[in-house]
Every structure is written in structure tokens, then in C-alpha cells.
């Protein structure tokens, strides 16, 4: 790993270490030709039950791309909880710091996917994810010493994330907040976020700006997204990365906005695109890549993931990205 330009302390281990603090769920995915209208019943084409949750998805995305990943979470072991932990272990993710709760149910996500176009709708029931506490995070303090990058999302309580980011900063690591789903973020958490990743809907909502109509010109969209990113930087976030689906990513750091167009692929299932991007970005950052190169790694991984069906099952291994994205030794 090249540490010279990363600004990270040299006391960290030389391998890319990513710590994910977040949710883990069982995803129940129904595929239908299109999404149903309110009150409508559609006959589906397929049903799959698979491990998910933004935290677990991002942990798996990073592990597939070659990062050494540890997971901090709270898992209810009733119903699907043990299966969820086993699935993480099968991916090589260290789950030794996960708090287990024999009384609680794990999170569940009910997902509908339209086979034409790959759009999706989701109902998420948090279960034990809502119980992750600052004390649970504190109990995993040793994991923060080893981590180069800590990643969190908003499917677990903000006080737990805040403690995680404080521990990360104290240990000399970098913090990545994926502000998804679209929920309020405290000023203190934004100020602790070296990188803030969110999609355009989440960015407009968090920045308090109106969304644009679907048919808005790309130049108009990019200008409005840049304004949102700038506003979020003003509120304390470091680098802001707004994901734009097939239109790629708009990054905004001290040097101003930069648009990175996505690879053109045929989208089959876009569920988990953002999670794959975040896992790839965190991996790149932990390897010492500059943020723009880390974002390119995340985009390359996400482009492959959307071209296949499934969430974790669609996430690529590093070698699938091609020689241009091989880890720098």
C-alpha cells in the first residue's frame, strides 16, 4: 500500500483495512414485470431471500474487492440472525465485534424489483439495527485501532455512528458517511465525516434544495447537485460525492465540483448500486488511492453489479474490474 500521499499515520497496518459500522438484514426480494401501483396486486416472476442491509452490503462489497473488513453491528439472533452472521463469515468479513441479542429480531427489507428497467421499491423494518448503541461501538474499540477507513450509513442510530467516527479520528483513520436512507444528520456527525456519499435525492433533501423534474437537462442537474454538495461542505462535510445512477458521480472537494461519468452498461437490477460504490470507494481509500481514483474503483464495481441481478450476489471480485483496477503494491 502506498501511504506517502494518503495523509494517514504510518502506524496503521499495511493492508487495506475497512471497518463498517452498520445494518444487517434479511432481504426478501420479489421480481415483477413492473412495480405495482398503490392498492394493486401483481403476479411476480421470482422470489429470493438473501442477506442485505446497507452495512453488510458495503462490508461484502469491500471484502470482494480485496479489503480486510471488520463489521460492527447489533444482530438479533431470532429467526434469520445466525444465518446472517454465517453469510458474513463466508465472505471473509470479521464479525467478532458484532453484538448479539438473543431476544431481538434482525432487520428485514421487503424489496420489489421491476424486471423492465431494474427500478426498485423497498420497505425496511429495522429490528435490532435500531438498537446499536454507543456502548456497543465502544466495546469494539480495538477494531478502530487497525482500521484505515471507517464507513457508516444511516440504518443504525446516529449516536452509535458518532461514537464510531470519534474513535476513528482518535485512532488516525478516515471516516466515510453514506447518508442513506434520506434522514436527518446532526451537524456534529457531518463535521466528523471526511467523505460524505449520498445519491441525488438524499443530497437535495439533506441540503434543503428542491428535486429537479425527471426530464431536466444533465447540465441543469449537475449544477443543482453541485450546489447541494457545496452546501453540505459548508455544513462541515469534507469531500462530498453525489451518486447519479447511470449519470455517474459528482465529487466536490476543496478544488470544486468534478463530474465522473459512469460506464455505459445495460442495467438489470440497480438494487445495491450505491452500496457497491461505497464499498469500492472505501477499499480504494484504504489502499491509499486519491479520492477521485477511489471513486473510479467504486464506479467500476457498481457498473458490474447493476448489470447482474441480486445485491451481494452481483458484487464483483477485484479481478473482474480488469488490470487497470488491480491493487497497487
Question: Smallest distance from the beta carbon of 11 to ligand ADP, in angstroms?
Answer: 33
Would you state the cell numbers that stand for residue 135, as one nine-digit string? 456502548
Task: Identify whether 215 is a catalytic site residue.
Answer: no
DSSP conformation letters of 198-247: EEHHHHHHHHT-PPPPTT--HHHHHHHHHHHHHHHHHTT-SEEEEE-GGG
> How do strand 25-32 and strand 46-52 relate by DSSP bridges?
antiparallel
Q: Among residues 24, 97, 289, 306, which is the contact residue for ligand ADP, using CB under 6 A?
A: 306
Question: Smallest distance from the beta carbon of 245 to ligand ADP, in angstroms?
Answer: 4
Question: Smallest distance from the beta carbon of 155 to ligand ADP, in angstroms?
Answer: 12
Distance CA 329, CA 326 (A): 9
Would you state the cell numbers that stand for residue 36, as one nine-digit string? 405495482
Site for ligand ADP in 151-190 (CB under 6 A): 180
Binding segment (CB under 6 A) for ligand ADP, from list 15-23, 101-109, 283-291, 298-306: 298-306
Residue 192 φ/ψ region, left for φ over 0, alpha for ψ in the -120 to 50 degree band, beta for the rest? alpha
Q: Which residues pair with 19 in a beta bridge?
A: 70, 150
Residue 237 contacts residue 206 (beta carbons within 8 Å): no
Query: Looking at beta carbons only, is 8 or 302 nearer to ligand ADP?
Result: 302
Does position 262 bind ligand ADP by CB under 6 A? yes
Distance CA 176, CA 65 (A): 17
Query: Looking at beta carbons only, is 144 or 277 nearer to ligand ADP?
Result: 277
Q: Among residues 55, 127, 248, 310, which is the contact residue for ligand ADP, using CB under 6 A?
A: 248
DSSP state of 94: B
| Nearest Cα to Cα of residue 132 among 152, 117, 147, 109 | 152
Which residue's Cβ lies closest to ligand ADP? 274
Binding segment (CB under 6 A) for ligand ADP, from list 78-86, 148-156, 210-218, 299-307: 299-307
3-state SS assignment for residue 125 = strand
Binding segment (CB under 6 A) for ligand ADP, from list 91-99, 185-193, 206-214, 301-309: 301-309
Does position 72 bind ligand ADP by CB under 6 A? no
Q: Which residues pair with 31 in a beta bridge?
A: 46, 113
DSSP state of 45: S
Residue 283 contacts residue 16 (beta carbons within 8 Å): yes
Query: Looking at beta carbons only, is 134 or 245 nearer to ligand ADP?
Result: 245
Query: Looking at beta carbons only, is 147 or 271 nearer to ligand ADP?
Result: 271
Site for ligand ADP in 206-245 (CB under 6 A): 243-245
Query: Looking at beta carbons only, is 16 or 304 nearer to ligand ADP?
Result: 304
Query: Looking at beta carbons only, is 87 or 306 nearer to ligand ADP?
Result: 306
Residues engaged in binding ligand ADP (CB under 6 A): 180, 199, 243-246, 248-249, 262-263, 265, 267, 270, 273-274, 277, 299, 302-303, 306
Give catalytic residue positions.
275
Amino acid at each position: 500500500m502506498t501511504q506517502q500521499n494518503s495523509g494517514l499515520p504510518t502506524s496503521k497496518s499495511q493492508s487495506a483495512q475497512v471497518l463498517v459500522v452498520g445494518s444487517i438484514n434479511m432481504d426478501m426480494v420479489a421480481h415483477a414485470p413492473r412495480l405495482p401501483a398503490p392498492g394493486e396486486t401483481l403476479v411476480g416472476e421470482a422470489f429470493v431471500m438473501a442477506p442485505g442491509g446497507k452495512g453488510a452490503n458495503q462490508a461484502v462489497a469491500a471484502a470482494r474487492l480485496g479489503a480486510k473488513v471488520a463489521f460492527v453491528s447489533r444482530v438479533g439472533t431470532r429467526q434469520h440472525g445466525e444465518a446472517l452472521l454465517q453469510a458474513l463469515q463466508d465472505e471473509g468479513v470479521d464479525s467478532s465485534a458484532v453484538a448479539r441479542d438473543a431476544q431481538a429480531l434482525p432487520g428485514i427489507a421487503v424489496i420489489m424489483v421491476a424486471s423492465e428497467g431494474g427500478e426498485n421499491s423497498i420497505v425496511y423494518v429495522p429490528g435490532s439495527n435500531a438498537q446499536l448503541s454507543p456502548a456497543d461501538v465502544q466495546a469494539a474499540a480495538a477494531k478502530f485501532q487497525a482500521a484505515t477507513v471507517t464507513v457508516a450509513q444511516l440504518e443504525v442510530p446516529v449516536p452509535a455512528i458518532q461514537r464510531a467516527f470519534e474513535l476513528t479520528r482518535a485512532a488516525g483513520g478516515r471516516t466515510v458517511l453514506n447518508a442513506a436512507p434520506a434522514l436527518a444528520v446532526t451537524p456534529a456527525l457531518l463535521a466528523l465525516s471526511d467523505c460524505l456519499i449520498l445519491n441525488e435525492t438524499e443530497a437535495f433533501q439533506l441540503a434543503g434544495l428542491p428535486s429537479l423534474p425527471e426530464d431536466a437537462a444533465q447540465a441543469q442537474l449537475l449544477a443543482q447537485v453541485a450546489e447541494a454538495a457545496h452546501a453540505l461542505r459548508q455544513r462541515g462535510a469534507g469531500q462530498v460525492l453525489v451518486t447519479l445512477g447511470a449519470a455517474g458521480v459528482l465529487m466536490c472537494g476543496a478544488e470544486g465540483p468534478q463530474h465522473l461519468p459512469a460506464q455505459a452498461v445495460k442495467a438489470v437490477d440497480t438494487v445495491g448500486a450505491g452500496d457497491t460504490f461505497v464499498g469500492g470507494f472505501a477499499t480504494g481509500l484504504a489502499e491509499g488511492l486519491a479520492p477521485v481514483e477511489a471513486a473510479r474503483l467504486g464506479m467500476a464495481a457498481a457498473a458490474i453489479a447493476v448489470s447482474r441481478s441480486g445485491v451481494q450476489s452481483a458484487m464483483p471480485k477485484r479481478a473482474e474490474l480488469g488490470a487497470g483496477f488491480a491493487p497497487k503494491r
